[in-house]
Structure 1
Amino acid sequence: MSGFLGRLGGWCARHGKLVLALWILVAAALTAGSQLFPGPVNNNVAIPGTDAQHAHDLMRDGFGVGYEPGGTVQIVVHSPDGPLTDDARKRAVERAMDRIRGVPHVAQVDTPYRMGGMAPNLQIGIITVRLQGHDGSRLAETTRELSAAAEPVREAGMEAVPSDSGTPADKEIKTGVSEAIGVVCALLVLLFAFGTLVAALVPIFTALVSIATGLGVISLLGHVVDVPKQASIMATMIGLGVGIDYALFLLSRYRRLLDDGLAVPEAARRMGAGSGGAVVFAGGTVIIALSALLLAGFPMLQTLGWITGISVVCAVLTSITLVPGLLGLLGRRIDALRLPLAGRRRSDDGSSGWTGLGLWVARRPWGVLALSVAVLAALTAPALALNLGTLDDGYGDRGTEARRAYELKEAGFGPGMNGPLVVLADLEEKVADREPAPAVLQALKDRVASVEGVAHVGEPVLNEGGTAAMVQAVTEFAPSDPRAVEVVEAVRALRIEGASVHVGGEVAGMADVGRRITERTPVVIGVVVLLSALLLLLAFRSPVVALKAALMNLVSLGAAFGVLALVFSLGLGSGLVGMDPPVGADDAYVATLFFSVPIDSYIPLMLFAVLFGLSMDYEVFLLTAVRQAYLRHGDNRRAVAEGLGSTGRVITSAALIMVAVFVAFIAYPDPMVKIFGVGLAAAIAVDATIIRGFLVPATMVLLGRYNWWCPRWLDRILPDLSIEGHEEEPRDERPERELVGAGRA
């Protein structure tokens, strides 16, 4: 593979103008296509085989307009200065309802002046809008149109806040400021690392082309598959980080080759043969980890995984083609516009501060190992307190309509109004809609109302065929409260003669998602670890290195989850990352900064896949350098020090870029994005410092030549997929011959 990538890099360097023009054309065409023909986004929250999915399927069977998922929008009306029953206010509400009826796809508008539509204080009411024939994937846009139609309420001095029937995961996420902050921070790191403006701009430009290409592809894919709303933000976060990092690794190798006196085309060729192979394998591990989410059993997470992988593919492709093309155009002008006091060179003997650190670790590996394990254990321990639950709109940004609607409904009707249970009864025999209500319908209402924790139960609704009945139940608890899940299980446990009971709605759906992901998590983790280890085995022909790398990545993941638990589950600074406290938690200043936040059950698995792949990047680059050094002289301790010395600066720069990008995304108002930002930033910081700077070198020193041991039988069957390109550099052949079968003694 290194030979092919070397030839590719050399060709791109010789045809730089063509390569640059082709990438700009592709990125511009895809961006224009996505703007002219934007694909719809749609969070497919179906959970095949679960009770909540059965309930949602029954809802589609003849219950009339507005009862299918996504078919209802509520306008919460609040009159702070008096009751809604005042004549002037009532007329304003009725004018708004008339305008709402004129919005396309509105089939029915329920007045707040109905039974159950008005809060006991008469100051908060709910206009329920039932839709028919609308595009469920454009629910946010429909909601905005309905909110605009309610303007007469606002003109009368009242609030009119929309609240659609989507889950918090359905809320629209817009990109913009955080990406700009991330790019600026990355540029500053690159300026310090390279010391020249031209060199710093190459990774930035490459990453932007990669992101434009990836986002264009993802948008157009919306016409043929369900693309989650989070896809663009995840693709941007991961694509920006890996796109800059991969170009950084290549450019660092290229500049070293130029310093060694190579001509530009030859330097580009060797860069592709060496670091280009490492980039391909590093990107491959990220894609494998994301693809393993196909086994999660949750369609939205499955789609989010492979679609996010598109951004990684684009990052790899631009790195191994566009970067050499740009370097071919720039030649030795890559060091133009040098900045003072930046991009310090190594000493004359080629050593660096990182080499010194490597030698220091090599002299005391047991002590470094013990201290590293102790620090990582302390960081990982809080992960045992990780609180998985439902992240409802009560934790959203206070500037959003979703958060305001949540607070108004809680104040007027109780916390359970924000996540009512939809109870469906699959009837064994057809019944007629008559008075008095059939016994099975009355039994359904009475039995659900008798469940502890249920505050209110609506009247049963029978479908057109008389084969299913539905009631809505409001619990005493907010959707994020674990006790709401207990109520769901209690209702599901009901046994009603002549009917089988199923529970749907946001709380029930997220509970089933959590259960499904818990069941599938061991499978996903096992597949990711095994496939990534196999890829490293093919790359380095060492089972010890492959298994150790997988273990190190799991260690860094544990530390990341520990930080997540500290910040969100234990609440030690959740307010500092921009989370707003829930209602009732802001009575004291301290409560606005420190409060517990539940983490949606699918987030840790998504984080695991992303972080495992990203952590493997640094492992690949470090191991590549160590192996190259070992093959040159056969001294393991020296090889570890030299490998750390040659990669420490670039890995640290890459990690700083990643951390800066992910921290910038913490500024997003969406809680899910904040959690991802904290988790990703913490994991990369730990991985690039404690893991790669101390733990990995210490273990490699202790293992000695067994790092590169490979049984003869395994060596014979493994294909030759060397990624280092070390065949192009002079070396002593003796160490490589001793690798195979070295452990036989």
Structure 2
Amino acid sequence: MLGGWLIATIAAGLFVGAYSDNLVSGSGSIAGSQSARVDAELISSFGIRDSQTLILTYDNPELNADENARSEFVACIEDKLSEIPAVETVLLASDLVETPRDDKGHALIIALDTKDALAAEQQVPVIRDAIGAMLVDQPEVEWAVTGRSAIGYDLAVFSNEDSMKSELRALPLALIVLLFAFGAVLSALLPIILAVAARTIAFASVVAFAGLFEISTVSQAIVTMLAIALGIDYSLFVYHRYRQILGDTGGITPGEIDRQRRDALIDAMGQSGIVVLYSGVAVAIGMTSLVITPMMEMRSIGLGGLAAVLISVAVALTMLPAMLSLIGAKALDWPNLAKSGRGYAATSKHWCKWGRIVVTYPWIAIASSFALILLMALPSIFTQSGFPDDEFFPSELESIRGANMLGDMEIKGFSAPVFVVISREDDSKVITSQSAPKLRDLKAAIEGDPRVAEVSTPRLSTRPSLMPIPVSRVQNLVSESGNKILFRVTPQSDTSLFALRGLARDIPTWIELEGVTIETGGQAQFLNDFDDGVTASYLPVILVVLVATGLALVLMLGAPLASIKALILNLLSVAAGYGMVVFVFQLGYGATLFGVPGPTGLIPSSVPVVIFAVLFGLSMDYEIFLISRMKEIYLSSGDNEGSIVEALGDTGSVISSAALIMALVFGAFAFSQIVIVQMVGLGLATAILVDALLIRAVLGPALMMVAGKWNWWPLIPERTSAIH
């Protein structure tokens, strides 16, 4: 068994290194959406591949001032790039848009002929290497390759490095907590080893699936977060119970020790193993709810999380017992940094004392903890959904540097155009003597909007003498049959992404033409469609998670009231975690502590649903661990108060240790340099701490005390004498 896991881990590590570039950045296309329809029309009717277009920006005082030198430079670039099969053509940006600040630099459009976005991203390093080789003797020329595919490639590479850095921050912190929990190096290392194995194999399985269909790079951060956190968490539950049952092995013969170890392992797997299994089911339910959504990015998160939880459960239930069966009891205490059992006995006593306080003053515990959770959740009512501008992307990315150079030229909007496709429902021409006046009105309305810098349109007249813009700028704006025309809208350089998304929504409403359809595309409209799709998935995801998790709890506990209470408490921890995300990032209170320059003003629509789906299962860990112990004690004693106190004493230390480790793992990602990963990391870390320290230690036990015997209805205890 152990050899099989070792081989699988090594093979997974080698596989990931060879095929991790199968992952794609971005969110993919949304089937049936307006942006997807326009993207398809751009390619089929106008020969434009917006998502597969790169922009080379360059700046040099001599080139800016000397047109002849600049022409020679461009010719050299064209010759060099013509050697790359994927490069279809190279155009001057000035052929498509006015460049008011050509003293600040210039730009070239590199049109690619690739089959999809992933293939376009894979050409980015090839093109950069070619340009870099050509300019190796011209260090005075500042240049960068940007565009949607370049940003996607840079984020994919950066995400991989960023996840590794976050993992390296998290593991030493987790090891320190485990050392305090167990007082022995080998015992502390066991969960770490298991977590790393789970993470490696889980990520390899995601990369393998990426060879079959599109999976986003965001899955890597989710796999790393969950596999490390759950790998440690689940191993800790089983190992803690094993050590608790094993007790002190001093003074007994080797044969008795072996028999005691075997019995302890069987009992631990029978008690904590089933808890890990049910907990894994709860987390898997949340992840599955994301897999069935129509957005590629959400499916990727769900698939990554599902792989992480399934492998983590398998590791805890098979690899850990195999290791424990080979490692002697005394070896687990090597080197012994604390007297065996002292830590557990002391912490158990403290948690029992705390439990007695809670059951003595349940209403005070309920009111105070609920008020604090409500206060933390309050900022969530101020949520503004949207995507932050690219100022929140890592500034060291070449593509972001290139976007900033476009901003210096005052043509930053050129890299994010809004495409307006105007089409006839039949095969007749769009531009007729009847439609031309209204089309000109639409063009004038767009040009007059303060968010717009320029509009490229075909000739909106049946008279040849009317040509609104130069011929070089109207090519490919009319389909071959004339039943479709294209407006290319370039926003102002200082137009925010939020304003640009509003423009994409507004334009189709500005005129009405019988038999004519007006649709918008481009990155802005894609984000509109993405938000609409995510928002539409909120209710189905929540219902699937609540119903499926509720049924799983009822099956495990056999107590409907306790199951409903668990669902409500989980919702409170989700609300508290998400409220702090809004407070820190959107509103900006403490954002600089996480390296964010200021308030983002917006929260991506995917963040709340991801936090909900991930956290609902995670926080169920502690609920199942605590409440199953309460149930076990109550059914044997019939004493509700005693079962609460004793269960807190038995589980308080492991829950607090596990929660602290999980919060440290997620918290490490809150210091990522990718803002959406930071949001998810902070939300999960906060909610886990709230769940362990306020809900499981205060609010939950207090509610159990108030509910009394109804907690376990219709279960009947075996006897009613209290255990003291």
Deviation per CA, 1:299-322: give whole Å up to 9, x if none: 331243133201110000010001
CA distance in 2, matches of 1:257, 1:98: 74
Choose the corresponding residue for 2:141, options 155, 158, 161.
158
Task: Tell me: CA distance 1:320–1:39, structure 2 relative to 1, closer, same or farther (3 Å).
Answer: same
| Secondary structure at the counterpart of residue 389 of structure 1 | coil
Tell me by how many angstroms 1:446 deviates: 4.1
Task: Tell me: CA distance 1:376–1:168, structure 2 relative to 1, closer, same or farther (3 Å).
Answer: farther
Tell me by how many angstroms 1:437 deviates: 14
CA distance in 1, matches of 2:428, 2:539: 45
Task: Tell me: CA distance 1:481–1:135, structure 2 relative to 1, closer, same or farther (3 Å).
Answer: closer
Contact 1:27–1:209 (CA under 8 A) maintained in structure 2: yes
Tell me by how many angstroms 1:444 deviates: 5.8
Contact 2:2–2:319 (CA under 8 A) maintained in structure 1: yes
Taking the TM superposition and a 5 Å limit, the aligned residue runs for 1:148-297 are 148-151=129-132, 152=134, 155=138, 157-166=140-149, 171-172=155-156, 173-174=159-160, 175-259=163-247, 263-297=260-294
| Secondary structure at the counterpart of residue 557 of structure 1 | helix
| Secondary structure at the counterpart of residue 277 of structure 1 | helix
* Matching of residue 572 in structure 1 with residue 571 in structure 2: no
Deviation per CA, 1:472-492: give whole Å up to 9, x if none: 212347675433232122102
CA distance in 1, matches of 2:374, 2:312: 34
CA distance in 2, matches of 1:462, 1:437: 18
Taking the TM superposition and a 5 Å limit, the aligned residue runs for 1:186-585 are 186-259=174-247, 263-332=260-329, 333-340=331-338, 344-347=342-345, 351-413=348-410, 416-428=413-425, 430=427, 439=436, 445-451=443-449, 453-460=451-458, 461-476=477-492, 481-495=497-511, 497=513, 499-579=516-596, 581=597
More deviation in 647-656 or 254-263?
254-263
More deviation in 140-149 or 550-559?
140-149
Contact 2:55–2:110 (CA under 8 A) maintained in structure 1: yes
Task: Tell me: CA distance 1:330–1:185, structure 2 relative to 1, closer, same or farther (3 Å).
Answer: same
Unaligned runs of 5+ in 1: 1-18, 582-593, 713-731, 737-745
Taking the TM superposition and a 5 Å limit, the aligned residue runs for 1:645-684 are 645-684=649-688
CA distance in 1, matches of 2:242, 2:584: 41
The code of the aligned residue for 2:595 comes to G
The code of the aligned residue for 1:519 comes to A
Task: Tell me: CA distance 1:187–1:711, structure 2 relative to 1, closer, same or farther (3 Å).
Answer: closer
The code of the aligned residue for 1:651 comes to I
Contact 2:121–2:150 (CA under 8 A) maintained in structure 1: no
The code of the aligned residue for 2:130 comes to A
Task: Tell me: CA distance 1:644–1:90, structure 2 relative to 1, closer, same or farther (3 Å).
Answer: farther
More deviation in 610-619 or 665-674?
665-674
Contact 2:429–2:484 (CA under 8 A) maintained in structure 1: no
| Secondary structure at the counterpart of residue 103 of structure 2 | coil
Query: What residue is the counterpart of 2:33 in the other structure?
Result: 50
| Secondary structure at the counterpart of residue 176 of structure 1 | helix
Contact 1:111–1:117 (CA under 8 A) maintained in structure 2: no
The code of the aligned residue for 1:650 comes to V
Contact 2:588–2:600 (CA under 8 A) maintained in structure 1: yes
Task: Tell me: CA distance 1:480–1:275, structure 2 relative to 1, closer, same or farther (3 Å).
Answer: farther
Tell me by how many angstroms 1:54 deviates: 2.0
| Secondary structure at the counterpart of residue 215 of structure 2 | coil
Deviation per CA, 1:418-469: give whole Å up to 9, x if none: 5321111223455789999994875664454345632311234123343322
Tell me by how many angstroms 1:538 deviates: 0.6
Query: What residue is the counterpart of 2:5 in the other structure?
Result: 23
TM-score (norm 1): 0.86
Tell me by how many angstroms 1:363 deviates: 0.5
Any runs of at least 4 consecutive aligned residues in structure 1 with deviations exceeding 6 A, and if so which? 167-170, 431-438
Tell me by how many angstroms 1:566 deviates: 0.9
Deviation per CA, 1:640-687: give whole Å up to 9, x if none: 111111111111111111111112223322222111211111111111
CA distance in 1, matches of 2:594, 2:100: 34
Tell me by how many angstroms 1:534 deviates: 1.0
Contact 1:89–1:156 (CA under 8 A) maintained in structure 2: no
Deviation per CA, 1:192-211: give whole Å up to 9, x if none: 10001111111111111111
Query: What residue is the counterpart of 2:467 in the other structure?
Result: none
CA distance in 1, matches of 2:371, 2:403: 44
Query: What residue is the counterpart of 1:589 in the other structure?
Result: none
Deviation per CA, 1:697-735: give whole Å up to 9, x if none: 1111111111111389xxxxxxxxxxxxxxxxxxx7225
Deviation per CA, 1:526-545: give whole Å up to 9, x if none: 22111111111111001111
Contact 2:430–2:483 (CA under 8 A) maintained in structure 1: no
Percent identity, aligned pairs only, is: 28
More deviation in 455-464 or 409-418?
409-418
Task: Tell me: CA distance 1:54–1:710, structure 2 relative to 1, closer, same or farther (3 Å).
Answer: farther
Query: What residue is the counterpart of 2:466 in the other structure?
Result: none
Query: What residue is the counterpart of 2:73 in the other structure?
Result: 92
CA distance in 1, matches of 2:75, 2:430: 31
* Matching of residue 733 in structure 1 with residue 711 in structure 2: no
The code of the aligned residue for 1:640 comes to I
Task: Tell me: CA distance 1:217–1:127, structure 2 relative to 1, closer, same or farther (3 Å).
Answer: same
Deviation per CA, 1:512-535: give whole Å up to 9, x if none: 211222222122112211111111
TM-score (norm 2): 0.88
Task: Tell me: CA distance 1:675–1:168, structure 2 relative to 1, closer, same or farther (3 Å).
Answer: farther
Query: What residue is the counterpart of 1:595 in the other structure?
Result: 599
Contact 1:477–1:484 (CA under 8 A) maintained in structure 2: no
Query: What residue is the counterpart of 1:141 in the other structure?
Result: 122
CA distance in 1, matches of 2:72, 2:433: 36
Contact 2:419–2:489 (CA under 8 A) maintained in structure 1: yes
Task: Tell me: CA distance 1:400–1:303, structure 2 relative to 1, closer, same or farther (3 Å).
Answer: closer
Task: Tell me: CA distance 1:100–1:167, structure 2 relative to 1, closer, same or farther (3 Å).
Answer: closer
Contact 1:39–1:220 (CA under 8 A) maintained in structure 2: no
CA distance in 1, matches of 2:226, 2:481: 49
Task: Tell me: CA distance 1:351–1:183, structure 2 relative to 1, closer, same or farther (3 Å).
Answer: closer
Tell me by how many angstroms 1:546 deviates: 0.9
Contact 1:119–1:125 (CA under 8 A) maintained in structure 2: no
The code of the aligned residue for 1:263 comes to Q
CA distance in 1, matches of 2:340, 2:142: 55
Please give the root-mean-square deviation of Cα atoms over the aligned residues, in Å. Answer: 2.8
| Secondary structure at the counterpart of residue 98 of structure 1 | helix
Contact 1:93–1:153 (CA under 8 A) maintained in structure 2: no
CA distance in 1, matches of 2:495, 2:551: 42
The code of the aligned residue for 1:556 comes to S
Contact 1:410–1:417 (CA under 8 A) maintained in structure 2: no
The code of the aligned residue for 1:316 comes to V
The code of the aligned residue for 2:350 comes to G
Contact 1:380–1:560 (CA under 8 A) maintained in structure 2: yes
Task: Tell me: CA distance 1:610–1:342, structure 2 relative to 1, closer, same or farther (3 Å).
Answer: farther
Contact 2:53–2:149 (CA under 8 A) maintained in structure 1: no
Contact 1:424–1:471 (CA under 8 A) maintained in structure 2: yes
CA distance in 1, matches of 2:98, 2:341: 66
CA distance in 2, matches of 1:602, 1:479: 23
Deviation per CA, 1:60-115: give whole Å up to 9, x if none: 31322xx2352201112233677354544553344233222222300010124535
Deviation per CA, 1:293-343: give whole Å up to 9, x if none: 245332331243133201110000010001111100003122221114897
Query: What residue is the counterpart of 1:728 in the other structure?
Result: none
The code of the aligned residue for 1:182 comes to A
CA distance in 2, matches of 1:505, 1:646: 57
Unaligned runs of 5+ in 2: 250-258, 459-476
